[in-house]
Structure 1
């Protein structure tokens, strides 16, 4: 089971062999961030309305400001801070698909294509694109190779779990082990119902449900994080009188 099927986390392996966990943002939180940015731009325009009273140049300055707010405002904040004020307020950031900070060319592409995403009205094309794409990308993101992700502070590592290590089932693929560690790192921040749901996805094939699945997955994570791997089982003592193998 690939880790991408667990919640909204996407894993990317860096050239150094480090796995980055990117939690992609859905269309609802992105729409709320857009509303905040629109309100900020409207507030700036309202403050700048007296410019129209300036004879000769007032209207030109106001139109330049309008152009800058519409096209350069998002590019400036994404390149400089990784996100517009609206996205930052909701804990979002824009990155390349490999998790690196977004660059100028990618930001320009994703924002220029907002014209297409807006069609025919109120970002209808962009919304459809977000709903059909597994990473919730609109057309601008697809063309620029970018993702909008939740920027979360570092979570405690699985080693810090106050649970005894539990030997996982043999032959777990590395992708599933990554998903188990990701669950352990952020599972305590989820609701009990969500924790149980994700744990059952991971442990369900082994016949575990509910709290038993949560306990099992956390124990597996502690075992994996300890580096025990698939170590052989401890030898059992010989029955009395039995001869050791040759």
Structure 2
């Protein structure tokens, strides 16, 4: 089986269908965190002014800050699938089987932000993301969740009209899906990236450079026409 393309993780549903999830790395997650920090900052300011005008005590104000800090992400994750920052970055939180995140999982992943934040600025969480193949921080590992890129509906890409070439025998389903995904995504990739990914898929055949791209495209044409 070939290595997965980029950060796509495949999960098999009970119906036997492989669901591809493109997990989000530290950079988009960090940008989403910064956007959420801006939103929370605005909410803190609004809450402070509101409570000041209402003349409430310090205890109620601290309670309001506590609820905002800890339940702001939970509320948005269980109702929208993502906080405003994650939504702006096209991200969503899901269970590791691809199903929408539930209340208990969202609570666990967000309460464990205390550990991920240590010793400062999410140091532990960043290390965890970098060493885990699915970029999960400790909260995600404990809750069984993933942060993934939301798939936007795009027109189905046509397989280039080139001569079909039978792929190597015995390819498993995941590799066949990777071949088709490579060709469908081709127009959005640079030439160098297409070559890099094609050479992963043709590692056993020895094709390199543009020849690898042509080889994989021929395989995709064969598979798309149901000849496999």
Please give the range of the TM-score, normalised by the shorter of the 2 chains: over 0.9
CA distance in 2, matches of 1:175, 1:79: 30
Cα deviation code 1:118-143 (max 9, x no counterpart): 11111111111111111000000000
Q: What's the CA shift for 1:19?
A: 1.1
How does the TM-score come out when normalised to structure 1? 0.86
CA distance in 2, matches of 1:195, 1:155: 20
Match of 1:163 among 161, 165, 177: 161
- 1:224 corresponding residue in structure 2: 223
Does structure 1 residue 92 correspond to structure 2 residue 91? yes
Q: What's the CA shift for 1:56?
A: 5.2
Q: What's the CA shift for 1:211?
A: 1.8
Is there any run of 5+ residues in structure 2 with no aligned partner, and where?
Answer: none
Name the SS of the counterpart of 1:206 in structure 2: coil
How does the TM-score come out when normalised to structure 2? 0.92
CA distance in 2, matches of 1:77, 1:52: 23
CA distance in 2, matches of 1:141, 1:112: 11
State which drifts further: 57-66 or 39-48: 57-66
- 1:212 corresponding residue in structure 2: 211
State which drifts further: 211-220 or 118-127: 211-220
- 1:115 corresponding residue in structure 2: 114
- 2:8 corresponding residue in structure 1: 9
- The structure having more radius of gyration, on CA atoms, is 1
- 2:18 corresponding residue in structure 1: 19
Task: Write out aligned runs for 1:1-246 (5 A).
Answer: 1-4=1-4, 6-54=5-53, 57-157=56-156, 160-164=158-162, 165-229=164-228
- 1:233 corresponding residue in structure 2: none
State which drifts further: 145-154 or 46-55: 46-55
Q: What's the CA shift for 1:65?
A: 2.6
Name the SS of the counterpart of 2:203 in structure 1: helix
Is there any run of 5+ residues in structure 1 with no aligned partner, and where?
Answer: 230-246
CA distance in 2, matches of 1:104, 1:69: 16
CA distance in 1, matches of 2:67, 2:210: 54
Query: Residues 99 and 90 of structure 1: is their aligned pair in 2 closer, same or farther, counting only changes over 3 Å?
Result: same
CA distance in 2, matches of 1:15, 1:55: 53
Instruction: Work out whether residues 33 and 85 of structure 2, in 8 Å CA contact, stay in contact via their aligned partners in 1.
Output: yes
Structure with bigger RCO (C-alpha 8 Å, 6+ apart): 2
Q: State the Cα RMSD in Å.
A: 1.8
CA distance in 2, matches of 1:2, 1:196: 15
Q: What's the CA shift for 1:157?
A: 4.7
Q: What's the CA shift for 1:91?
A: 0.6
